[in-house]
């Protein structure tokens, strides 16, 4: 086996490859751009080489730099991951010239499958079923128009060099064909530098079913069953699963054979995926072959119990496939959800920023998290904004769905917008639950997936209020333990007053809606009044924001994270962001000031800037917190008095803890 390999990629897939290499005792070399200097894949690898600035064009896509890194570190082989250089013929040639093994198929296979129309010609010869259509060389618009008319509408025009869902046009009527053709060619030219197109019958309500194949250099080729990737948004996969719901043994064998035929027709070696488009009646047609490891390969690993990266390494080293077709088996059902830093409420706009709080569900036999980031890392604008792939497995599909819902509910991400709530709705969507699958599912179910107005459950306000009260209590303890007289009753924040009922209000806002929760202190517990209803509340809050709640004797778990001046409440598999409104500032100058004196994130106090006991103007810098490798200045929310600092320089602070005791002037 290889002693050392280089991984020419970043993010979750680089980490994924490192994991297997480490298990096999193979040393790993990471490459990284300046933007990825502290990235997880760099931390995990045995060695790492800086290859250039953030832009992939100047780093991850520069063949010479990667080859030089491999030579400098003595790596014998390069794993390209997916994307970047994974299907780049020049890169294969460069590896070859340098005497380095490219962990992937022979360059001829990449070339053969690189063009959709050339691939279709080859597949036609190999007897693989094809979508009815024209994939020849005649590109005259009038000629293609005649072909489209003969195929019958709707048709799909595809850029032969296209990929990633780009360069496709759906044409519904003959009179629109010429216009769509020229716009498709324009996009093909600018995106892929090649305006060659093919025309296909557009399959209505199609399913995307792909077959994982594996071949070695000794003439063996097997299929590792199918993955159903029908749930897509704009031709991009969102949820993937294996096996495909409703798949019969005969159909699986037929698709498996077609995929193996396809691979063998191009002399394939290594891991590959043959993508088919399937009609609702189960008939299927070859779409394309991806000559690399796919993003969604983990679902295949979960149902076969195999490690596909291990297979890739063995095959690249010249070994035979570890198992023959008869030895391969499907066990149970697996699902994968792609967790992205994107905002479903705003057209899935990518979101960037620091992951202020990140806690994935625990990994076990049923749950796997493939990720390239940890808490404190940044989702940068330079690369794909994927946070993680969440993969679950269970005995059957229903139970796997339940696992997925549970795991999504446990996933906490604060700092960037993300699609976790959307994925939860998708997993719970009746059409998906009933496996009524096709590539239009998300669009068709948009009413369910994007509910117009979600009523905020009363528990959310109560949970936020309780967390606030418990945090105050912790603060009191922390500052008391720092003072000369920790036992003094004056440190206790239980609302106790001389000759008065211990009552107060906490106010939150979520979007347009504002709610006031009345609080009555009851020793260790509280009575919370919301909309005239009184609830007996008791809770425990830990430093990571985990909140154990009891409302009228009913127990539940929630998480409340304070970050970016918001209370991020995670409850019952959903997330809400509430702003805390300080009643003291509410009417006056600082109206809407949202707890600016609390640590916005965990960090270290590095400077105290104001004199204790002095008056400062609104906005004056009070303290600097170093968190997530950046400095954050905490400013005065109003003009007022700096009464004391709760921490000293050098102290570590948890998020949400009070930093400065501050008395605003208008209070
Ligand atoms: P890309 O290389 O950009 O991924 P594909 O050819 O793999 O393009 O197609 C991507 C997606 O487009 C498929 O998963 C499917 O949803 C849709 N699609 C492709 N061909 C057809 C077709 N003939 N009819 C209907 N939908 C199609």
The CB-based long-range contact list for 164-167 (8 Å cut-off, 24+ gap) reads 164/236, 165/232, 165/234, 165/235, 165/236, 166/191, 166/192, 167/191, 167/192
Q: Which atom of ligand 1 is nearest to the CA of 165?
A: 3
φ/ψ (deg, to 5) at 176: -95, -5
Which residue blocks in 227-283 are alpha helix, DSSP H?
249-265
pLDDT score recorded for residue 127: 92
pLDDT score recorded for residue 188 = 92
Q: Indicate if the pLDDT at residue 453 is higher than 90.
A: no
pLDDT (0 to 100) of residue 318? 98
97-134 pLDDT tens trace: 999 999 999 999 999 999 888 899 999 999 999 999 99
**Residue 494: per-residue pLDDT:** 62
**Cα of 235 from ligand 1 centre, angstroms:** 7
Average pLDDT, the chain: 92
Q: Residue with the nearest Cα to atom 22 of ligand 1?
A: 202
Strands 47-52 and 27-33, sheet pairing: parallel
Nearest to 564 by CA among 550, 546, 577: 577
Distance in angstroms (rounded) separating the CA atoms of residues 588 and 457: 30
Testing ligand 1's pocket by substitution, the residue of 287, 290, 437 carrying the most ligand atoms inside 8 A of its CB is 287
The closest-lying atom of ligand 1 relative to the alpha carbon of residue 237 is 14
Min mean pLDDT across 143-147, 161-165, 518-522, 650-654 is at 161-165
- H-helix or E-strand spanning residue 274: strand 270-278
Report in angstroms the alpha-carbon separations of 398 from 297, 334, 438: 21, 10, 19
List of residues 6+ apart from 54 with CB closer than 8 A = 33, 34, 35, 36, 380, 382
Q: Among the atoms of ligand 1, which is closest to the Cα of residue 235?
A: 11
User: For residues 135 and 45, what is the distance between their CA atoms, to the nearest angstrom?
Assistant: 44
Of all protein residues, the one whose alpha carbon is nearest to atom 2 of ligand 1 is 163
pLDDT at 594 over 50: no
Residue 265: alpha-carbon gap to chain centroid:
36
CA pair distance 560, 41, nearest whole angstrom? 29
The residue to mutate among 113, 160, 164, 168, having the most atoms of ligand 1 within 8 angstroms of its beta carbon, is 168
pTM of the model as a whole: 0.85
Residue 89 has pLDDT above 60, yes or no: yes
Strands, E, within 361-459: which ranges?
367-371, 378-379, 386-394, 412-414
Residue 43 pLDDT > 90, yes or no?
yes
Which residue among 210, 235, 272 is best mutated to probe the pocket of ligand 1, counting the most ligand atoms within 8 A of its Cβ?
235
Q: At what angle do helices 397-410 and 420-428 cross, to 10 degrees?
A: 160
Helices (H) and strands (E) in the chain, counts: 18, 38
Contact 88, 298 (CB under 8 A): no
Strands 4-7 and 77-79, bridge-based pairing: parallel
Per-residue confidence at 592, pLDDT binned at 50, 70, 90? very low
Query: Residue 663: pLDDT band by 50, 70, 90 thresholds?
Result: confident
The single residue of 227, 292, 425, 567 carrying the catalytic annotation is 292
Residue 583: which pLDDT band, with cuts at 50, 70 and 90?
low
Query: Ligand 1 mean position to 287 CA, how many Å?
Result: 7
Residue 292 CA, ligand 1 centroid: distance in Å: 18
Pocket of ligand 1, beta carbon within 6 A: 131, 156, 162-166, 200-203, 206, 208, 232, 235, 275, 277, 287-288, 439
Q: How far is CA 452 from the centre of its chain?
A: 24
> To test ligand 1's pocket by mutation, which of 277, 294, 295, 439 has the most ligand atoms within 8 angstroms of CB?
277
Q: Of all protein residues, whose CA lies closest to atom 1 belonging to ligand 1?
A: 163
pLDDT in tens, 150-170: 999 999 999 998 887 788 999
Are 15 and 370 within 8 A, CB to CB? yes
pLDDT digit string, tens, across residues 634-656: 888 888 899 889 889 988 887 77
Task: Quote the ligand 1 centre to 48 CA distance (angstroms).
Answer: 37
**Residue 55: burial class (beta carbons within 10 Å; 0-12, 13-18, 19+):** middle
Nearest ligand 1 atom to the CA of 202 is 24
Predicted local distance difference test score (pLDDT) of residue 138: 95
Q: Is 16 a catalytic residue?
A: no
How many A from CA of 17 to the centre of ligand 1?
A: 28
Q: What is the mean predicted confidence (pLDDT) over 462-482? A: 87
Going by pLDDT thresholds of 50, 70 and 90, the confidence category of residue 66 is very high
Structure confidence by residue, pLDDT tens digits, 176-209: 999 999 999 999 998 889 999 999 999 999 999 9
Quote the pLDDT of residue 589.
Answer: 34
pLDDT at 139 over 60: yes
The Å distance, Cα 206 to ligand 1 centre, comes to 9
- Does residue 595 register a pLDDT over 70? no
What is the C-alpha to C-alpha distance for residues 657 and 597, in angstroms, rounded to an integer?
8
Atom of ligand 1 nearest to the CA of 166: 3
Q: Compute the distance from residue 165 Cα to the ligand 1 centre, in Å.
A: 7
Q: What residue spans of 292-338 are helical by DSSP H?
A: 297-304, 308-316
| 27 sits in which H/E element | strand 27-33
Q: How does pLDDT run across 77-86, given as a tens digit for each residue?
A: 999 999 999 9
pLDDT, position 437: 97
pLDDT 10s digits, 409-442: 999 999 999 999 999 999 999 999 999 999 999 9
Q: What would the pLDDT profile of 320-353 be if each residue is shown by its tens digit?
A: 999 999 999 999 999 999 999 999 988 898 898 9
Residues 193-252 pLDDT 10s: 999 999 999 999 999 999 999 999 999 999 999 999 999 998 899 999 999 999 999 999
Domains of the chain plus CATH, in order, are 4-103 (3.40.50.20), 132-201 (3.30.1490.20), 458-581 (3.30.700.30), 596-664 (2.40.50.100)
Alpha helix segments (H runs only) across 437-522: 441-444, 446-449, 458-482
Supply the pLDDT for residue 585.
44
Residue-level pLDDT at 70:
98
Q: Where are the alpha helices (DSSP H) in 81-196?
A: 89-97, 107-114, 116-125, 141-151, 177-192
Nearest to 490 by CA among 503, 481, 480: 480
Whole-number Å distance between alpha carbons of 86 and 607: 48
- Which atom of ligand 1 is nearest the CA belonging to 158? 6
What spacing in Å lies between the alpha carbon of 158 and ligand 1's midpoint? 9
Which pLDDT score, from 0 to 100, does residue 500 have?
46
Percent with pLDDT over 90 in the chain: 76
pLDDT at 489 over 90: no
- Residue 507 CA to residue 559 CA, distance in Å, equals 19
Q: Report the run of H or E that residue 605 belongs to, with start and end.
A: strand 603-608
Residue nearest to atom 17 of ligand 1 (CA): 235
Query: 278-317 pLDDT, tens per residue?
Result: 999 999 999 999 999 999 999 999 999 999 999 999 999 9
The pLDDT score that the predictor gives to residue 164 is 73
667 pLDDT above the threshold of 70: no
Q: Atom of ligand 1 at shortest distance to CA of 285?
A: 23
User: Which residue has its alpha carbon closest to ligand 1 atom 9?
Assistant: 165
What is the rounded distance in angstroms from the CA atom of residue 447 to the CA atom of residue 465?
32
Length of the chain: 667
């Amino acid at each position: 086996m290889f002693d050392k390999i280089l991984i020419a990629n970043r993010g979750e897939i680089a980490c994924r490859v490192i994991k297997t290499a480490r298990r096999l005792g193979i040393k790993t070399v990471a490459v990284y751009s300046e933007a990825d200097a502290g990235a997880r894949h760099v931390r995990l690898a045995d060695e790492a080489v800086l290859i250039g600035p953030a832009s992939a064009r100047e780093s991850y896509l520069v063949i010479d730099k990667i080859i030089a890194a491999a030579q400098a570190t003595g790596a014998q082989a390069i794993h390209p991951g997916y994307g970047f250089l994974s299907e780049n013929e020049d890169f294969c040639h460069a590896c070859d010239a340098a005497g380095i093994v490219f962990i992937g198929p022979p360059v001829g296979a990449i070339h053969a499958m690189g063009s959709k129309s050339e691939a279709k010609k080859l597949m036609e010869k190999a007897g693989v079923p094809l979508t009815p259509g024209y994939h020849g060389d005649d590109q005259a618009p009038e000629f293609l128009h005649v072909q489209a008319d003969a195929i019958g509408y709707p048709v799909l025009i595809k850029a032969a060099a296209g990929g990633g869902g780009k360069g496709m046009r759906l044409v519904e009527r003959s009179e629109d064909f010429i216009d769509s053709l020229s716009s498709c060619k324009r996009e093909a030219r600018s995106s892929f530098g090649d305006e060659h197109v093919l025309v296909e019958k557009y399959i209505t309500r199609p399913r995307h079913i792909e077959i994982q194949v594996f071949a070695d250099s000794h003439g063996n080729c097997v299929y590792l069953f199918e993955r159903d990737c029908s749930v897509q948004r704009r031709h991009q996969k969102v949820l993937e699963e294996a096996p495909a719901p409703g798949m019969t043994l005969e159909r699986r064998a037929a698709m498996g054979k077609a995929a193996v035929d396809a691979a063998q027709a191009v002399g394939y070696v290594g891991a590959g995926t043959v993508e088919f488009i399937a009609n609702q009646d189960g008939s299927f047609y070859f779409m394309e072959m991806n000559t690399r490891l796919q993003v969604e390969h983990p679902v295949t690993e979960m149902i076969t119990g195999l490690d596909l990266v291990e297979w890739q390494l063995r095959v690249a080293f010249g070994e035979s496939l570890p198992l023959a077709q008869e030895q391969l088996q499907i066990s149970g059902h697996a699902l994968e959800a792609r967790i992205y830093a994107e905002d479903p409420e705003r057209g899935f706009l990518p979101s960037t920023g620091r992951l202020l709080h990140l806690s994935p569900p625990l990994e076990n036999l049923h749950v796997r998290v493939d990720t390239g980031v940890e808490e404190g890392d940044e989702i940068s604008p330079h690369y794909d904004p994927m946070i993680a792939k969440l993969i679950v497995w269970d005995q059957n599909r229903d139970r796997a769905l339940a696992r997925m819902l549970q795991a999504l509910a446990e996933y906490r991400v604060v700092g960037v917008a993300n699609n976790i709530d959307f994925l939860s709705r998708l997993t719970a969507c009746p059409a998906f639950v009933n496996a009524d699958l096709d590539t239009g599912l998300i669009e068709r179910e948009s009413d369910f997936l994007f509910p117009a107005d979600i009523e905020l459950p009363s528990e959310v306000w109560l949970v936020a209020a309780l967390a606030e009260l418990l945090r105050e209590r912790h603060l009191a303890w922390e500052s008391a333990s720092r003072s000369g007289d920790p036992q003094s009753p004056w440190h206790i924040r239980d609302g106790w007053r001389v000759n008065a009922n211990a009552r107060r209000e906490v106010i939150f806002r979520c979007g347009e809606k504002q709610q006031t929760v009345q609080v009555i202190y009851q020793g260790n517990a509280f009575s919370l009044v919301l909309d005239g209803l009184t609830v007996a509340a008791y809770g425990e809050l830990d430093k990571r924001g985990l909140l154990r709640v009891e409302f009228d004797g009913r127990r539940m778990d929630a998480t409340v994270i304070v970050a970016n001046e918001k209370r991020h409440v995670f409850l019952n598999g959903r997330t809400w962001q509430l702003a805390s409104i300080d009643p003291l500032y509410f009417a006056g100058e600082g109206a809407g000031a949202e707890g600016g004196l609390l640590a916005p994130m965990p960090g270290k106090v590095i400077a105290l800037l104001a004199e204790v006991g002095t008056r400062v103007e609104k906005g004056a810098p009070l303290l600097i917190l170093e968190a997530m490798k950046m400095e954050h200045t905490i400013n005065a929310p109003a003009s007022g008095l700096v009464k004391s600092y709760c921490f000293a320089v050098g102290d570590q602070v948890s998020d949400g803890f009070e930093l400065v005791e501050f008395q605003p002037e208008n209070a």
